[in-house]
Amino acid sequence: MLKKNNVCAVIPFYNEAETIQEVVDRSLNFVDCVIAVNDGSTDGFAQLKNFQRVIVISNQKNSGKGFSLNTGFRESIKNNFDITITLDADLQHEPEQIPKLIKEIGSFDIVIGNRLDDLTKMPLLRIASNKLTSFFLSLKTGQKLLDTQCGFRAYKTKILTDILSSSHGFEAESEILVNAARKNYKIGFVPIPTIYANEKSKMKTFQAISGFIKVLLS
């Protein structure tokens, strides 16, 4: 596999047949390889094109975003990529913003997209939950963390083994930040557009809250 800048994108997806191909195609304009993790989709997903630059890994059942991220991270480590990008499969993140993350990763170990500069397009419940989780995670880690719920991130692949989450749900992305802070890794943020359309959140409120509390108390 030819690698121009040795960057891969890990894209977990569950029942995103309508958008996953577009996200993969647009991401391939900025990365060398996409690692797409199918988390037990039941919506008739068949196969992705551009197979020469796409690695598809399928979970036998729906196992959660954290589980799928770990699967993608391990594949990135195995393939010796220098930088691992993560983004969602529902077009909530613009792949065209990937170069912005890559540009900043030289100064940090993790770079996260920050949507909180423009809250006009973010639902009120999301604003409240994001502000609260970011506040509590900042207290726990001792670092100023802005948009901790954003899954659009860049990681130096060499640190992934140290920060893999034990959580399998959406709280895994919070646990990753806690693990990174414990290892004194530097976490940075870059502004990205806030996009909320008609996507249906797969996050279950009770499970998400209980999972986050577990991370805080760990």
For the segment 156-202, what is each residue's pLDDT rounded down to a tens digit?
Answer: 999 999 999 998 888 999 999 999 999 999 999 999 988 766 555 55
Helix/strand/coil for 110? strand
Helix/strand/coil for 47? coil
Helix/strand/coil for 188? strand
Helix/strand/coil for 69? helix
Q: In DSSP terms, which residues pair with 8 in a beta bridge?
A: 33, 84
Enumerate domains of the chain plus CATH numbers. 7-217 (3.90.550.10)
- What's this model's pTM, rounded to 2 decimal places? 0.87
| Other beta carbons less than 10 A from residue 187's beta carbon | 20
| Spatial separation of the C-alpha atoms in residues 185 and 68, rounded to whole Å | 23
